[in-house]
Amino acid sequence: MNIRKLFLGAVAVIAGSVALSATSAAADRPWTEGTVSNISSIRTAPGKFDDYMAFLAKTYKPLMEAQKAAGNIVDYHIYTAMPRSPDDPDVFLVVTYKNMAALDGLRDRMEPIQEKLQGDAATRQAAMIARGSMRTQLGTEMVRQLVLK
């Protein structure tokens, strides 16, 4: 029994030391974790750039503004780029969240707003299909901002 208590005590001391050194190491970092952004890379179909921008202005912008007002997102931006090849994006959609924890339960918080602005799931699915004729999503990337101290 005494050996078991000694062993558990040693494990507790080691675990405490590791936790303390991890906390100390984090405090020594010259940066803190900032916002998290989801970046969608989009390639518009030939001749469809203006149609896609009109779609974004009519559908995407009101949705993002409502999500921002609800506190689900911090901000959003749309960027255009000069593609280097036919496989490169010409539009980037960037949505910024407060932190990684803001992504927990996000769908449950966003869906009521989507339904209010864009209709039920079937209506949103039809819009997604129509949007597909204007553009191709090439990929999505998530990045985290690091804020230097």
Domain ranges of the chain: 31-148
Q: Hey, what CATH topology would domain 31-148 get? A: Alpha-Beta Plaits (3.30.70)
Return d(Cα 43, Cα 53) in angstroms, integer: 12
Q: What is the pLDDT of residue 118?
A: 84
Residue 130 per-residue DSSP state: H
Detail the DSSP E strand segments found in the chain. 31-44, 75-80, 91-97, 135-148
Return d(Cα 30, Cα 146) in angstroms, integer: 10
Q: Residue 99's Cα: distance from chain center in Å? A: 9
DSSP 3-state assignment of 3? helix
Q: For the chain, 149 residues long, give each residue's pLDDT as a single digit of tens.
A: 556 555 556 555 576 655 555 556 677 999 999 999 999 999 999 999 999 999 999 999 999 999 999 999 999 999 999 999 989 999 999 999 999 999 999 999 999 998 898 888 888 888 888 888 999 999 999 999 999 99
Residue 45 per-residue DSSP state: P
